[in-house]
Structure 1
Amino acid sequence: MIKETLYLCGPTVYNHVHIGNMRSLMYFDILNRVKLFNGIEVNYLHNITDIDDKIINKAIEENKTEKEISEFYYQEYIKLFSLYNINFPTKIIKVTEKIDWIINYIQELLDKKIAYKKNNNVFFDVTKNPKYGEISNRKLEDMKNEEVNEYDKKNIQDFALWKETNLGIKFETPFGKGRPGWHTECAAMIYYYFDKKTIDIHAGGIDLIFPHHENENAQHFSLTNSKITKKWIHSGFLNKDGTKMSKSIGNILLAKDFITKFHPDTFRQIILTTNITYPIDLTNDIIKTNEDKIKQLRKINFLLHTKQTNIEKEINQIKIKELIKLILDKKNSAFNKELNTLLKEKDYANLIEVHKILGFSFVNEKIEKEDLNMYYQWQKYRENKDFQKADELRQILVQKGLI
């Protein structure tokens, strides 16, 4: 079994995640299933940011503790894995669970003179890293991190590894009381969880390239003299009706609400329609088209169960492997074209088997014996030309979405 390593930046748990936040999560669920089918086992780490200004503000607003806020939304996030039939990563780690890693990581940077203290804050000196800027393709003089130079930093581009704070959770450290900076949280997790090695894939949204991923790579390179990852995969935006989802605009579609309106496999189907790096415009037409596709596949799955033969004998493993490899090679267009061919040829056994490998949940939906008997009875009425009774049963089967 070939082994690979993957890190996916997780959410800040201060609110319900919207459907766009689910894109990378769904994509890597599909990709990891494909890899496993091809004999590749992925050691997959996913972080949860449960220390952040947004969490502090939410706690103040609702008169609750940060722990109450972060734990509630963490549990809400975890529920989405089963609702969308997403396999759990190898490991999910909250920032608060690995403060010791982060403290040790910052101390290593201080010991190597790559970081420096200003009062009880610690900053990364970007001028100590000649590779700074290569992830985002920017020149140092053109960059500006999110922190203003209120701390008398050496360089305006220097970013915080540790922050002295008056609000929220604070941790005692050798360099002061406070909490970690966002960029060092992920870098420390990768450094220690993966034994200080370069990982195979680092993933996240395209909006994280700068400053987040740039700053992660800078820290890792400064400590190990190697890149943090062999490959970056940045998922494109998932827009709603041509506009980026935004609270201020009011066009956010929450992941928990999406599945109250549509079958969860609809989102999996949408993710398969295009390359992960391309933007997706989530219009009502696109949702309906893919929802209809799932309805059609569910009917085909039911039809397969009505056959009183061994379906396994109809599965062509060579054909299945060729199809699945198209996903591995990121040839989504060719893959979808081949699926349409299977549909036209009524090669239903192989069509459903592919969807099973890709994690579609409809293939695991229980087929009721009562529904199968109703289908067989409908067929008998048709054979006997008892069209009135046949139409009555047909209406029921149609209403149930079985035919």
Structure 2
Amino acid sequence: MKIFDSRSNEKVDLKNKTIKIYTCGPTVYSNIHIGNARPILLTDVLVRFLNYQNIEVDYMMNITDIDDKIINKAIAENKTEFEITEKYIKEFNEDLYSLNIIKPNRMIKISEEIPTIESFIKKLVDSKKAYIKNGSVYFDLKNNLDTYGSISKQKIDQLISDDSLSEKNDPLDFALWKSTEVGLNWETQFCKGRPGWHTECVALVDKYFKKELDVHVGGIDLKFPHHENERIQFFGMYQLELSKIWMHNGSLNVNKEKMSKSLGNIVNLRDFLKSNSTNVLRLLMLKTNYSNPLSITDKDIEDANKWIAKVTNTIKQSIINENLELINETSSDYINEFESFMNDNLNTGQVITLVDKIVKEINSEISNKEFSDLYKQLVKILEVLGIEIKLITISNVEIKLLKKWKNHISEKQFKEADEIRNELTRIGVL
């Protein structure tokens, strides 16, 4: 399998016996929106395909429960930070369930790993990759100019910082530990304070994976500075890359406008799922290559609902024919084609086109009364995509009704056939 790596700008082989994956998780001060769901769904499809290939996956996600946004939310609502974070962690877990996500092996709250982060920062200070000023700890970027910017392709001499903190050696140096008594804070060997965002993820990777990751997933908006700053800390510490592959999904546009708070067009995931199924959201995310910008319009949502209904009905009709003992083995084999698309940088757009092709062939068979078990390949492909089609079960009584209905149709007894069809529709078989 080959995945495009943002750092090398090349497709890189992913072939270890165990694949180590890290995805940047949410900052839990609010519910996630559909843009936040894109890297989560991307990772889920990757994990599903690796599982399909019987490859072991070690997958971790962080939960950022220490942040200025959380402090501000707590103050605004007259609550503790813990009350805010626990509410949104609970609801995030509910969202993962709603999205049909295979949960990570580990989901780790940053607040539970302060000693891990402190130890990691201490190593950077001891190796003179970081320095302490007034209790805060900063990464010394000038010591790593040769490799900084390799993910985002930013040039250090073109970066401008409006940070006026005079205590830093350089305005572009970033905080690993912040001296503060505002909000949640911890007493450490440096000072009382809390960790910097860029250090949280890399410290967890260092502790739980020991060596470099195979895949680090995140949105394109995290390339710089977050992922760049994660990487440079690990490289500064070990002279090794943090991840073999940096996998970034593109931005999200809603009705032809980039989704942003300033435009007021943020689509909350929970609001979206009130009107649409998880399958619809997955289809919208998967129809475009993950690395490309994704545009979602009202028409796209309408078409996705129709597509899901069409595929569901095709599978349902096949199961009915199977229960009527009308199905034979298919001569068509689309699985190799499916695997080829997925192995080529998770090309789900081509897989969706392939699904359309399979559905068309099955419906043509049904029209010609040449029934096959091709639907089983379709179900297998959809399972890997995480598109969950409920497979109907048909009782013996319902099978008898179906046979009567078919017989009435063949004998042109349409009134009787309509009566049975209405009953089959009422009980959900048709």
TM-score when scaled to structure 1?
A: 0.91
RMSD value over aligned CA atoms?
2.5
Indicate the larger mover: 155-164 or 388-397: 388-397
Which residue in the other structure is 2:259 paired with?
Answer: 245
Which blocks of at least 5 consecutive residues in structure 1 are unaligned? none
Structure 2 CA distance for partners of 1:379 and 1:244, relative to 1, 3 Å: same
Cα deviation, residue 386, structure 1: 3.6
- Secondary structure, counterpart of 2:181 in structure 1: coil
Distance 1:311 1:269 in 2: 31
Contact 2:21 2:57 in 1 (8 A): yes
Give the one of 202, 208, 217 matched to 1:187.
Answer: 202
Contact 1:31 1:328 in 2 (8 A): no
Distance 2:186 2:331 in 1: 58
Give the one of 78, 100, 119 matched to 1:63.
Answer: 78
Which residue in the other structure is 1:201 paired with?
Answer: 215
Structure 2 CA distance for partners of 1:299 and 1:122, relative to 1, 3 Å: same
Give the one of 356, 361, 378 matched to 1:340.
Answer: 356
1:338-395 per-position Cα deviation (integer Å, ceiling 9, x unaligned): 32221222132322221123322214x5546487666555434433434235335546
User: One-letter code of the match for 2:157?
Assistant: E
Which blocks of at least 5 consecutive residues in structure 2 are unaligned? 1-15, 363-373
Structure 2 CA distance for partners of 1:176 and 1:352, relative to 1, 3 Å: same
Residue 137 in structure 1 maps to residue 153 in structure 2: yes
Once the two structures are superposed, the pairs formed by residues 322-341 of structure 1 within 5 Å of their partners are 322-330=337-345, 331-341=347-357
Structure 2 CA distance for partners of 1:380 and 1:144, relative to 1, 3 Å: farther
Give the one of 268, 293, 296 matched to 1:279.
Answer: 293
Contact 2:43 2:217 in 1 (8 A): no
Indicate the larger mover: 162-171 or 207-216: 162-171
Distance 2:261 2:114 in 1: 31
User: One-letter code of the match for 1:82?
Assistant: Y
Which residue in the other structure is 2:237 paired with?
Answer: 223
Contact 2:38 2:285 in 1 (8 A): yes
Contact 1:315 1:353 in 2 (8 A): no
Distance 1:126 1:340 in 2: 51
Distance 1:65 1:176 in 2: 23
Residue 257 in structure 1 maps to residue 271 in structure 2: yes
Distance 2:285 2:113 in 1: 32
Cα deviation, residue 396, structure 1: 6.8
- Secondary structure, counterpart of 1:162 in structure 2: strand
Give the one of 70, 87, 90 matched to 2:102.
Answer: 87
Which residue in the other structure is 1:305 paired with?
Answer: 319
Distance 1:96 1:186 in 2: 12
TM-score when scaled to structure 2?
A: 0.86
Which residue in the other structure is 2:246 paired with?
Answer: 232
1:237-282 per-position Cα deviation (integer Å, ceiling 9, x unaligned): 1211111222332222111122221121111222221111101111
Give the one of 379, 383, 393 matched to 1:352.
Answer: 379
Contact 1:299 1:401 in 2 (8 A): no
Structure 2 CA distance for partners of 1:144 and 1:380, relative to 1, 3 Å: farther
Once the two structures are superposed, the pairs formed by residues 111-130 of structure 1 within 5 Å of their partners are 111-129=126-144, 130=146
- Secondary structure, counterpart of 2:257 in structure 1: coil
Give the one of 170, 191, 212 matched to 2:226.
Answer: 212
1:175-221 per-position Cα deviation (integer Å, ceiling 9, x unaligned): 000100000001101111111x1111111010011110110011000
Residue 166 in structure 1 maps to residue 181 in structure 2: yes
Contact 1:186 1:216 in 2 (8 A): yes
1:52-89 per-position Cα deviation (integer Å, ceiling 9, x unaligned): 01111111111111011011111111112221211011
Indicate the larger mover: 128-137 or 373-382: 373-382
User: One-letter code of the match for 1:361?
Assistant: E
Contact 1:50 1:95 in 2 (8 A): yes
Distance 2:127 2:326 in 1: 63
Distance 1:273 1:378 in 2: 38
Give the one of 43, 58, 73 matched to 1:28.
Answer: 43
Contact 1:295 1:401 in 2 (8 A): no
User: One-letter code of the match for 1:339?
Assistant: V
Which residue in the other structure is 2:370 paired with?
Answer: none
Once the two structures are superposed, the pairs formed by residues 381-392 of structure 1 within 5 Å of their partners are 381-391=408-418
Contact 1:323 1:335 in 2 (8 A): yes
Distance 1:402 1:288 in 2: 25
Structure 2 CA distance for partners of 1:21 and 1:312, relative to 1, 3 Å: farther
Structure 2 CA distance for partners of 1:174 and 1:366, relative to 1, 3 Å: farther
Which residue in the other structure is 2:4 paired with?
Answer: none
Distance 2:331 2:124 in 1: 55
User: One-letter code of the match for 1:143?
Assistant: L
Distance 1:89 1:311 in 2: 42
